[in-house]
Amino acid sequence: MDTKIININKENIDEELIMEASSLIKDGKLVAFPTETVYGLGANGLDESAVKGIFNAKGRPQDNPLILHIYNVEQLIPLVKDVSDIALECIKKFWPGPLTMLFKKSNIVPDIITAGLDTVAIRMPNNPIALELIRKSNTPIAAPSANLSGKPSPTSANHVIQDLDGKIDMIIDGGITGVGLESTVLDLSGDVPLILRPGGVTIEDLKEFIPNITQDKGTIIESADITPKSPGQKYRHYAPKAEMIVFDGEIEDIVEGITNRTNELINKGLRVGIMATEETKNNYTLGTVLIVGSRENKESIAANLFNTIRLFDDKNVDIILAEGIESDNIGMAIMNRMMKASGGKIIKV
Ligand code: TXA
Ligand code: MG
């Protein structure tokens, strides 16, 4: 299949190009588009066979449900059984934005979207291209991250091209995404409000509205004893080709631990990649050092994390030693992705 790549400037949207993309969506085709978190692989969310195409193109397991993307609150109502007061407050505060919420699904949501669950995940992305595409398509758009299953989520159109060129109908290049990590997934359907995946909206942000909010244990520790509540969290994710180990602790200890381990591994003849930060980069004299961002500005680390993991693939290192980040605010989502990328290999130093 030929994948058409088009450029759209989010500050000045070309309506004709959006029309072209939306007519593909209406025809049951696959269009990758930017959101404020990561690129999504979109299809008409109410068209079962179009949605099947998403699973095929990504190689995604069928038991992993998808998020429906909407452009306004009216579009939410037919998709769900009800909207609780807390959900309504979160909508007012955080939509459009990187918060996905679970609702009891209505009958018009196909089972393939929810993988047979009775809840449906919905979000309103904060990107004008995404919103305009949904509006013109006149349907909720199902969209997982636009990567091959298991790879880091795409934060640029180039990442989408690397993974899906030839497998989908169109890629809208709308520049680099902002947040860089996927949306927070919030489950309000049980007794206790639960974060199933930490993301751009932090637990600190949510606590103001939902004081009793908690976080699913599977998002913090990788362990065979814990089955994450969100089906997607159980798979190995964001994985670089190389093995990855995360060092977590005080910054001096992290630097010392990584330096010692680098020496050992290089002596064994291995090519070592180090994922460092602005504040620590000058401490490393060996290995391939890439700077993921600044500890003073954790948003910069979130924005660059997936791109940095992909860059290590290009550099053909055998092993990546990554600095852990303090897990407050967006740091929680960063550490969750590092845990997944490393398959839970976190060394406390
Ligand atoms: O930022 C994002 O959320 C991006 C952009 C494209 O919007 N999308 C995204 O989709 O990350 P995906 O499919 O890669 O991740 C969706 C996550 C998965 O972990 C999935 O298991 C979970 O949401 N999920 C979806 N529906 C669910 C449901 N009904 N119950 C529990 N978890 C659900
Ligand atoms: Mg994904």
Dump pLDDT digits (tens) for 39-70: 999 999 999 999 999 999 999 999 999 999 99
Tell me how far apart the alpha carbons of residues 335 and 332 are, in angstroms, rounded to a whole number: 5
| Any atom of ligand 1 within 6 Å of the Cβ of 119 | yes
Domain positions in the chain are 4-219, 243-348
Pick the CATH number of 243-348 from 3.20.20.10, 3.30.390.10, 3.40.50.11030, 3.40.605.10: 3.40.50.11030
Mean pLDDT of 157-161: 98
Q: Which atom of ligand 1 is nearest to the CA of 125?
A: 7
247-250's contacts with Cβ under 8 Å and 24+ in sequence apart are 247/321, 247/322, 247/323, 247/324, 247/346, 247/347, 247/349, 248/324, 248/335, 248/346, 248/347, 248/348, 248/349, 249/324, 249/348, 249/349, 250/349
Tell me how far apart the alpha carbons of residues 308 and 303 are, in angstroms, rounded to a whole number: 10
Q: Between 223 and 110, whose confidence is greater?
A: 110
- What's 12's DSSP letter? B
> What separation in Å is there between the alpha carbon of 337 and the centre of ligand 1?
14
Mode of pairing for the β-strands spanning 194-197 and 184-187: antiparallel
Could you tell me if 133 and 31 are in contact, meaning their C-beta atoms sit under 8 angstroms apart? yes
* pLDDT value, residue 260: 98
| Any atom of ligand 1 within 6 Å of the Cβ of 183 | yes
| Any atom of ligand 1 within 6 Å of the Cβ of 232 | yes
| Any atom of ligand 1 within 6 Å of the Cβ of 155 | no
Could you tell me if 174 and 33 are in contact, meaning their C-beta atoms sit under 8 angstroms apart? yes
Q: Whose Cα sits closest to atom 30 in ligand 1?
A: 230
> pLDDT band at residue 217, thresholds of 50, 70 and 90?
confident
pTM summary value: 0.96
| Any atom of ligand 1 within 6 Å of the Cβ of 308 | no
Could you tell me if 158 and 172 are in contact, meaning their C-beta atoms sit under 8 angstroms apart? no
3-state secondary structure (DSSP) of residue 19: helix
Give the type of residue at 60. Answer: R
pLDDT at 236 over 70: no
Tell me how far apart the alpha carbons of residues 12 and 264 are, in angstroms, rounded to a whole number: 53
Tell me how far apart the alpha carbons of residues 206 and 332 are, in angstroms, rounded to a whole number: 13
pLDDT at 231 over 60: yes
* pLDDT value, residue 4: 98
> pLDDT band at residue 168, thresholds of 50, 70 and 90?
very high
* Residue the block writes with tokens 């994985």: 239
Sheet holding 99-104, edge to edge: 4-7, 170-173, 31-33, 40-44, 141-142, 67-69, 119-123, 99-104, 184-187, 194-197, 214-215
| Any atom of ligand 1 within 6 Å of the Cβ of 97 | no
> pLDDT band at residue 223, thresholds of 50, 70 and 90?
low
> pLDDT band at residue 235, thresholds of 50, 70 and 90?
low
What are the Cα distances from residue 183, in Å, to 100, 101, 179, 288, 323? 6, 10, 9, 31, 23
| Any atom of ligand 1 within 6 Å of the Cβ of 40 | yes
> What separation in Å is there between the alpha carbon of 51 and the centre of ligand 2?
15
> What separation in Å is there between the alpha carbon of 243 and the centre of ligand 1?
25
Tell me how far apart the alpha carbons of residues 200 and 126 are, in angstroms, rounded to a whole number: 11
| Any atom of ligand 1 within 6 Å of the Cβ of 70 | no
Tell me how far apart the alpha carbons of residues 122 and 90 are, in angstroms, rounded to a whole number: 12
Tell me how far apart the alpha carbons of residues 151 and 39 are, in angstroms, rounded to a whole number: 13
CATH-assigned architecture of domain 4-219: Alpha-Beta Complex (3.90)
3-state secondary structure (DSSP) of residue 303: helix
Assess whether the region 4-219 and the region 243-348 belong to the same CATH fold: no
pLDDT tens sequence across 79-88? 999 999 999 9
Q: Whose Cα sits closest to atom 17 in ligand 1?
A: 232
> What separation in Å is there between the alpha carbon of 55 and the centre of ligand 1?
13
34: its two tokens: 């930017």
Q: Whose Cα sits closest to atom 3 in ligand 1?
A: 183
Q: Whose Cα sits closest to atom 31 in ligand 1?
A: 230
> What separation in Å is there between the alpha carbon of 153 and the centre of ligand 2?
6
| Any atom of ligand 1 within 6 Å of the Cβ of 99 | no
Tell me how far apart the alpha carbons of residues 202 and 184 are, in angstroms, rounded to a whole number: 7
Mean pLDDT of 250-279: 98
Mutate-to-test residue for ligand 1 from 114, 147, 159, 182, highest number of ligand atoms within 8 A of CB = 182
Q: Which atom of ligand 1 is nearest to the CA of 115?
A: 29
| Any atom of ligand 1 within 6 Å of the Cβ of 38 | yes
Tell me how far apart the alpha carbons of residues 335 and 218 are, in angstroms, rounded to a whole number: 12
Could you tell me if 87 and 124 are in contact, meaning their C-beta atoms sit under 8 angstroms apart? no
93: its two tokens: 């505060």
